Structure 1
Amino acid sequence: MPVTERVTNLILFCKWFYFCIGLVGAAALPRASFCAGEGRNPHGLNRIDWAVGVIAPQPSVHLLEVGCGHGIAVTKVCDRLDEGEIVAIDRSAVMIAAAARRNAEHVAAGRATLRVAELRSFDLGGRRFDKAFAMRVGVFTRGDPAREFAALAQLLKPEGRLFLFHDEPSTGADDVGARLAAAALRQSWQVEALSAQIFDSSEVACLIARPPA
């Protein structure tokens, strides 16, 4: 079964399930949106290029990246920024050092700020972001991410958006997307969309959600 059909069926099931248990209304989960080619990758993009395209940062937007690794997404986001800024965090000092080397020009220009930090305890003194995103951060599909979602609710503006991108070896986007959506809904986040993209080695799921009202 094509990934588009599987994810659409998943969303319909989630609507029915959460409506039945009374957690959210049946309209809380929309039908999936896909790139051209029924979820396949028609333009030869890599997963980070695709993700940044989905996030679509405007020149003046303020973003937070959770788990920035080597800072590749930071570079691609900064290339789109003018007055905006990205703050990127990672638990690993080694990764932050690598990201800082890669993005030295953007850091010097004030477009990028890199911090060694845990999301669950990250505090910027009330500062809020327009968008936040994470790529392959396992806590959102495994374990209990309640503290992470609580932190993001404090870090995003009320009208802000969260983008979670995740894939796992030998696991389809429908299963990964189901776990992302279930985790967000348990914390009263408003799921706006689930989408998927097929790359050579895996299917990547994307969840877009708003903070609790």
Structure 2
Amino acid sequence: MSKLTLLPVPEIMKFLNLDDRDENMVTLLSLSVSIEIEKYTHRILINRIKSEYQDGHNSDALYLLDYPVSEFNLLQIRSRRDLQYRSIDPTLYSLTPLPGESDQPIELTLLPGYTFPRGSNNIRISYTAGYTDETMPEDLKTAFCEIITWMLGRLKARQIGIDLLKSSSSQNSTLMYSKEIPEHARTILNSYRRKSY
């Protein structure tokens, strides 16, 4: 089974010094907070295979959308006259930095003389992005656990009848955009937001 949360529940329980009574609540919170953090940062943070489609602009380079990248699997291109994507030989392009070498976005560059043909979604890329349990940065773990603690406190307060939850002015706003999120956690998460190129 693939990993679904930024940290395994037993590690969260240990990190927060919680007993077994809170395990079910922490399990649910860890799933929802992990999803919200990935939405907020606009990145894959939990290690998994990603397939993405990009538009060709007659250039020789493009950036992979998610990072860090631990493994690059496939580059395929579809020309205007082809219905099928065709795999591109790995000797015809380079990756900078190489997968597993950096937490920064990877640039995929074709050899001199080659360009990505113009087209909509005519480039298909497959790679493994995100952090494993071993590579998850400590500050990201801390931010994740701070938000879990904050949410757990809010839920426990509701259980004993103290209503700390205020309706937001925008009912559509997500958890990470709430003004009540711990500021330290938000600052850390801001440093993980997707860089644009």
Q: TM-score, length-normalised on structure 1?
A: 0.23
Structure number with higher helix proportion: 1
TM-score, structure 2 as length reference: 0.25
